[in-house]
Structure 1
Amino acid sequence: MEIYVKQLDKKFNVPTSNSNVRRVLYFQKAFAAMNNLSGKTDEEVFDAQIKGLDEASKFAKEVLKMKPKEVEKLDEMVDDNDQDLTVVVANYVSQRLMGMSDEQIETDQAKTTENPKK
């Protein structure tokens, strides 16, 4: 599957292999853990957040087969809402690997922006 990452202005050839789907699931699991933090200590919250960011970076690097300079560049970038672009790119790529089209992703993002609790 060819995936265009507009934040890097580059197309990547990403196989829809079992190993990449497994990477998607590990990435999603780390972010799910970040949404389940009630009753956790501050240290546990920070550990979950760090793990989530590390998983996003690792996911992008491995799935997109990024060069070290590309990973470094992406890790330093934020979008117009000051959101970490590593996470944005990792989310986008994981959604594409799980079968969503660009149109479906845009629709989903619009719904989330309108009602963030969904």
Structure 2
Amino acid sequence: MEIYLKEFNKKFVVKASNKVMKKTYKVQLKMAKADDIADVAPQEQIERSLEMTESVEEYLKDVLKLNDKEYEKLEDLEFEPTIDLTNHVALRVMGLSETDIEDANRKKK
């Protein structure tokens, strides 16, 4: 499938292979774990946040096959757009269309 990402002004070809699906589920688990910090000590909260940040960057680098320049651009993004980008790619890999994602985002607002 092709995924257009405005942050890179580029279409990426991503194959929804078993390998990519496993990476998608793993990054989603990391993100969920990082969000579940209500009863967690501050040090553990920071460790989870760091793990998640590293995981989403690595996920996007691997799945999109980012070159060095693109990876540098990713690292220069702010945190929230990076999470949004990761969610977008994960949803596309899981079979949602651009329209499905746009509709879901509109319903959130």
Length-normalised TM-score, structure 1 = 0.86
Amino acid at match of 2:23: R
Alignment of 1:12-27 (within 5 A): 12-27=12-27
More helix by share: 2
Higher RCO (CA 8 Å, separation ≥ 6 residues): 2
Alignment of 1:71-110 (within 5 A): 71-78=71-78, 83-110=79-106
Aligned residues: 109
Amino acid at match of 1:62: D
Displacement of 1:110: 1.8
Task: Classify the secondary structure of the residue corresponding to 2:27.
Answer: helix
Q: Distance in 2 between matches of 1:99 and 1:51?
A: 26
Length-normalised TM-score, structure 2 = 0.93
- Where in structure 1 do 4 or more consecutive aligned residues deviate above 6 Å? none
Alpha-carbon RMSD across the aligned residues, in angstroms, is 1.2
Q: Distance in 2 between matches of 1:59 and 1:77?
A: 15
| Unaligned stretches of 5+ residues in structure 1 | none
C-alpha deviations, 1:8-60, integer Å up to 9, x for none? Answer: 00111111100000010011000010121121000111111111111110000
